Amino acid sequence: MQVIALDTIDSLADDLSDYLGKDQVNSVKRAFYYAEQAHEGQFRRSGDAYVTHPLAVASILSKMHMDHQSLMAAMLHDVIEDTGITKTAIKSQFGNTVADLVDGVSKLNKITFSSRAEAQAENFQKMAMAMAKDLRVILVKIADRLHNMRTLDVLTPDKRRRIARETLDIYAPIANRLGMNNVRVEFEELGFAALHPMRSRRIATAIKRVRGNRREIVSKIQTALETCLEREDLPGRTIGREKHLFSIYEKMRSKRKSFSEIMDVYAFRIIVDRVDTCYRVLGAVHSLYKPVPGRFKDYIAIPKTNGYQSLHTTLFGMHGVPIEIQIRTEEMEAMANNGIASHWLYKSSDDLPSNAHIRAREWVNGLLELQKHAGNSLEFIENVKIDLFPDEIYVFTPKGTIFELPAGSTAVDFAYAIHTDVGNSCVACRISRRLAPLSEPLQSGQTVEIITAPGTQPNPAWLSFVVTGKARSNIRHYLKNQKHSESVALGRRLLNKALASFGSDLDSVTAENINAVLSQTKLKSLDHLLEEIGLGNRMSYMVAQRLAAHSKVTALDGGLAPDEQGSLAIRGSEGMVMNYAKCCHPIPGDPIVGHISSGRGMVIHTDDCNNIAEIHDNPEKCIAVSWDPDVEGEFSVELRVELENLRGIIATLATTITGAEANIEKISTVERDARVSIVNLSLNVRNRVHLARVMKRVRLIKPVTRVTRVKSRRVRKMIRSTIGIH
């Protein structure tokens, strides 16, 4: 890999004078001398003076024609961390902007983290914050990492592998996201060589071996393409594209292809003067060789998120050889290779931000939103990694606005991409005008319409299929807050019920008594205490006893047990902290009991459920509950239907149940013999009356011989008979 190094500040200054003013070049030199003095006596692992590193970083940035402040920050980027010089000192010498850039790039070595992964995540979070203030921070950081990767050889194998893995996981995707293709390729090649040296050497040797055989075919195809352009009078240059080691390795690994299969494809790039010429060249090459159906992509009309623009097509060449062609303008070529850096490299005189710059700014703002909603730095980095996946699809709103999403995205990802509130209140979707499940993966070119309803909330099940970091972090954030508020509300009801046995309630307990109990339990606030009770981590009766002891109140009638105090009313709208047991499927109308389960809150069982028989009368684990007269919602119940095997009977059964306004969640069939089948159904019903109506309708179907509701005692009986206990 080519290593670009400059020996002296004078040779760098000569290069800078090509595009910077004399005063600006002098400022960069002054920053170098300041860094040289600050790092005096410090050496790199290679034995070179430490200042050669910041000089090399500034040299990399000079190739991008970065401004003088970025170059000054490059010279000083390790001064705060590695010497005794403060940000204030840099500010007084070089101004606020340079000091902020240096601070943004500085590492977090002074903070102690519980793990290396967390340290990397925290470091990236700080970088995201600094990027939001000034995008040049990420470019200085990338140049810093690039020089470190070029000089990896002097490090120990362990450290080499760790830095290479971090580069491939975080920095190469960031370079790709910012459109800096040249930097991304170098990161990947250097990272691959450091992480898998033997694999890298073997692929490199194999490429050299086949290069001679390919040369003749490449030359023939290139000549044919150039002749075609001349014949059609289309100006443009044609260049063959070399495949990179890492991209070959990744294709072999992910697509399960052999080396020869990947090397059988020949890739060319045609670079022209104007956009309309791109499309004319496309027509010309399609008339020269037959295009492969479904392999044409127009990234000029719909650019990638990182600003990349090009026409892509695959052709059947001579003897059926596949040829991949990219067609783009000179400006698009510069953009593809330099991305956001092209804003400085090809900056116009009016100094307006380029499209790449605007896109990068939008991405950074998206990072900040992720950071705000993430629970911790590791969750944030997980979401960012998802966001950095390069494969994209393009979908449209009904009004024709284009949204770019990662491959595999669903309507929920699309809803959150539009706006957080749209995602939170999403209930259904239409994909290309047809109603579709929210979990259906979207395809490029589809029109997606999101149907929302006021008062709805995200479903925890969405986390199993959403792809984008924004959707994942927003759902988690909402559910976390929702669970907190619901557990506080349930905890308040449970504590008030327990306090009633002491002739008191929460409103009449003094702040002094509450603080005494908080001090005992080592909790920060009353809300934290109520949340712990609602989640089942603390028993309401025990907390009520402590509050009563502190307020010197004695229990009424010698202290009634909690289940003698009238039951807690279940409304059906308590949310995530109220769960309904899967073993007995209680529904409104059933006699019920509440089991306090640590971390889950309250689990409602039927009164005769076998699974809680042993703890049924334990006041610390179970609480008397009853259905509120105005209970609302749909509740799951299981039915077992025995019927004769007739054609279409399952469809008749499903239609009958749906006609009784019940929703079928799950259906499975067991054939008892050739004549009789048993159908197990999981339904959603409102209450026992509704269930009775459903069962009555099912019984009226002629082939049905028996309908029963499956409850836990039946399950227990079946288990006992299976193992021979009577």
* DSSP labels, 487-513: HHHHHHHHHHHHHHTTT--GGGS-HHH
638 beta partners = 682
List 48, 82, 608, 634, catalytic entry: 82
Structure tokens at 630: 């105005």
Length in residues, the chain: 726
Helix (H) or strand (E) holding 431: strand 426-431
Q: Please spell the DSSP secondary structure of 297-340, one letter per residue.
A: EETTTS--TT----EEEEEE-GGG-EEEEEEEEHHHHHHHHHGG
Q: Which of 426, 628, 650, 620 is nearest to 539 (CA)?
A: 620
Instruction: Give the orientation angle of helix 22-38 with respect to helix 87-94, to 10 degrees.
Output: 150
- Cα–Cα dist 205/243, whole Å: 14
Bridge partners (DSSP) of residue 270 are: 238, 327
Distance CA 579, CA 166 (A): 42
Q: How far apart are alpha carbons 153 and 150 in whole angstroms?
A: 8
Q: Which amino acid is at 478?
A: Y
> What stretch of H or E contains 144?
helix 136-150
Instruction: Give yes or no: 82 in active site.
Output: yes
Contacts of residue 419, defined as CB under 8 A and 6 or more positions apart, other chains included, come to none
Q: Which of 36, 48, 81, 628 is catalytic?
A: 81
Half-sphere exposure of 517 (CA within 13 A, CB side): 24
Q: 437-440: list long-range contacts, CB under 8 Å, 24+ apart.
A: 438/410, 438/411, 438/412, 438/462, 439/410, 439/412, 439/465, 440/410, 440/411
DSSP letters of 550-584?
A: HTTPPPGGGT--GGGS-PEEE-S--GGGEEE-TTT
DSSP string, 210-247: HHHHHHHHHHHHHHHHHHHHHHTT---EEEEPPPPHHH
Spatial separation of the C-alpha atoms in residues 386 and 388, rounded to whole Å: 5
Q: What count of Cα atoms within 13 Å lies in the side-chain half-sphere of residue 613?
A: 9
Which residues of 586-712 form beta strands (DSSP E)?
Answer: 592-597, 601-606, 622-627, 635-644, 663-671, 676-685, 704-709
- The residues, ordered by sequence, that sit 6+ positions from 199 with a Cβ below 8 Å of its Cβ are 192, 249
Taking the C-alpha atoms of residue 525 and residue 492, their distance in angstroms, rounded to an integer, is 13
Question: Known catalytic residue: 153?
Answer: no
Tokens in use for 122? 């925290």
User: What is the spatial distance between Cα 434 and Cα 4, in angstroms, rounded to a whole number?
Assistant: 56
Closest residue by Cα to residue 632 from 687, 577, 688, 593: 687
- Are the beta carbons of 140 and 340 closer than 8 angstroms? no
Owner of token pair 């994209």: 392
User: Torsion angle, CA of 381/384/386/388, rounded to 10 degrees?
Assistant: -130
Half-sphere CA count of 335, side-chain side, radius 13 A: 21
> In the 8-state DSSP scheme, what is residue 168?
I
Query: Closest Cα to residue 58, out of 93, 112, 116, 15?
Result: 15
Alpha-carbon span 537 to 543, nearest angstrom: 11
Please give the Cα distance from 378 to 121 (Å, whole number).
6
Q: Which residues are catalytic?
A: 81-82
